[in-house]
Amino acid sequence: MPAARPTQVLVLTPDTVGPEMAGPGIRSYELARVLAAESAVTLASPYPVGRELPGGVTTTFADRGELRTLVARADVVVAMASLLHEHRWIGHATGVNGQRPAVVADAYDPVLFEVLARSAAGGFDTTVEGPEALARMTSPLELADLVLCASTRQRHLLIGMMAGLGRVNPLTYASDPTFERFVAVVPFGLPTQAPDAYGRRPLRGPEGPFDDGDFVLLWGGGLYEWLDPLTLIDAIGQIDDPTVKAYLLAGRHPTPAVGDSTMAARARRRAEELGLTGGPNPRVVFGDHWVPYDERAAWLLDADVSVSLHRPGLEATFAFRTRLLDALWTRLPVICADGDSLAELVHRQGLGVVVTPSDASAVAEAIVTLREPRCYAAARLALGSIAPFYAWDRVAEPLVEFCRHPALAPDRTRSTSAVEAGAKSQARRAGRVLSRWSRAAARRGRAAYDEYRTRQREQK
């Protein structure tokens, strides 16, 4: 009997995959790497791919025609939700042997809440951008046979969205009342190998800006508008000890389509105003380049504490702070703001200190607490026991299992039963409501925004 043909899996990312990568690119690459152990995997990006995929192949698609050729060879298409929104035709395309490929929407990034948080921080008009962000979250859910998310909170949010779109219907419910078959938690993961700095010390000594005796706080992620590096800088200013210092990674995003961050400029100004930068012994230093993915361990191992702060809001409620996972990998104690799912893990497992959002005094107190040797040692011990549970090979198991036996969701087969027709009609009605809202919001434009601002002033 001939051996079974390996599943042909196409992993699509809208991000750069190369030496320097942000969260979406890292996630797509690592999931493709895990899948390649069993399936025939192709990882594709609109940008040139600058790293090899063990066991798989990489490629670039320059236009829709090239992307259609890749999809036509696939049994399964795994794509970031934003890319599926831009190429909705994938949900109805023809793949291997003339069959429709199963579609996996990776919806781990709740982009709507990031847009709203950025609007609140910068005061720009989201009349058009807000509805578009909502569509980028919702339209892929109409096309997917499996939806991936990063936390239980996100899973509940997505199931609610799918119910509103008609995807929670008699067919899907009868197939799996738990909906675990359709919405799976696949958090960000960690390498299985131990971190290695390869002799580098980028933060201390001759190579870095700090001394061996300094207590170094590392802001390891981007300086996005929905995050709060300003509170960390204020906390440094409140601490009299000149050996307490912070390094904030502030390099430009490696994906060209992502513009510069206004928060990075604000953070630099705040540090300068407080007199924490410059001179022979700066207490706050900004890194001007994006740390290559394969070199990040050296930075983490040379720091004392990992910091992740945000303001309160829905963005935090549904966020999954991917770069905090690296702190687990390197056993780096954490100071983080309360409100997101990883903060719950830090508090529950004693991985560091959780603080009230926007409270610089609380952050300063947390720094003093973690500098106490017993507290620091306890956090490192707890971190060592948690990291194995987040290995990429482990967290990706729901996706691996789906690719072993890919199947269309029962409401996305070619059947035309009355039940399915009713579910599709419900989805179309929900989609029309969203579409009408988007068009109406765009027509209102600046007038709607001005009216909103007027009401705000009146309420004050």
Same domain, yes or no: 340 and 427: no
Amino acid at the residue 345: L
449 shares a domain with 426: yes
Say if residue 397's pLDDT is above 90: yes
288 & 400 share domain: no
Question: 379 is in which domain, residue-wise?
Answer: 205-390
**Does the residue 243 lie in any domain?**
yes
* pLDDT given at position 354: 97
pLDDT tens digits for 102-159?
A: 999 999 999 898 888 877 766 555 665 778 889 999 999 999 999 999 999 999 999 9
What pLDDT score was predicted for residue 96?
87
Q: Give the per-residue pLDDT at 456.
A: 43
Q: Which residue has the higher pLDDT, 24 or 259?
A: 24
Q: Are residues 251 and 155 in the same domain?
A: no
Q: What is the pLDDT of residue 128?
A: 59
Query: Per the domain annotation, does 360 fall within a domain?
Result: yes
Indicate whether 166 and 33 sit together in one domain: yes
pLDDT of residue 448: 41
pLDDT digits (tens, 9 = 90+) for 232-282: 999 999 999 999 999 998 767 666 666 667 888 899 999 999 999 988 899
Model confidence at 434: pLDDT above 60: no
What's the pLDDT at 439? 47
Please report the pLDDT score of residue 446 as a whole number: 43
Final residue before a domain boundary, out of 390, 418, 436:
390
246 plus 386 within the same structural domain: yes
Total tally of structural domains belonging to the chain: 2
Three-state SS sequence of the chain: CCCCCCCEEEEECCCCCCCCCCHHHHHHHHHHHHHCCCCEEEEEECCCCCCCCCCCEEEECCCHHHHHHHHCCCCEEEEEHHHHHHCHHHHHCCCHHHCCCEEEEECCCCHHHHHHHHHHHHCCCCCCHHHHHHHHHHHHHHHCCEEEECCHHHHHHHHHHHHHCCCCCHHHHHHCCCCCCCEEECCCCECCCCCCCCCCCCCEHHHCCECCCCEEEEECCCCCCCECHHHHHHHHHHCCCCCEEEEEECCCCCCCCCCCCHHHHHHHHHHHHCCCCCCCCCCEEEECCCCCHHHHHHHHHCCCEEEECECCCHHHHHCCCCCHHHHHHCCCCEEEECCCHHHHHHHHHCCEEEECCCCHHHHHHHHHHHHCHHHHHHHHHHHHHHHHHHEHHHHCHHHHHHHHCCCCCHHHCCCCCHHHHHHHHHHHHHHHHHHHHHHHHHHHHHHHHHHHHHHHHHHC
Per-residue pLDDT at 455 exceeds 50: no
Express each pLDDT in 319-373 by its tens digit. Answer: 998 888 899 999 999 999 999 889 999 999 999 999 999 999 999 999 999 999 9
Between these two residues, 189 and 437, which has the higher pLDDT value? 189
Mean pLDDT of 303-308: 97
Segment 190-214 mean pLDDT: 90
Q: pLDDT category, 443, cuts 50, 70, 90?
A: very low
Give the sign of the dihedral formed by CA 30, CA 31, CA 34, CA 39: negative
Q: Contact at 8 Å (CB) between 64 and 12?
A: no
How high is the mean pLDDT of the chain? 87
- Judge whether residue 442 has pLDDT over 80: no
Q: According to the model, what pLDDT value does residue 97 have?
A: 83
218 falls within a domain: yes
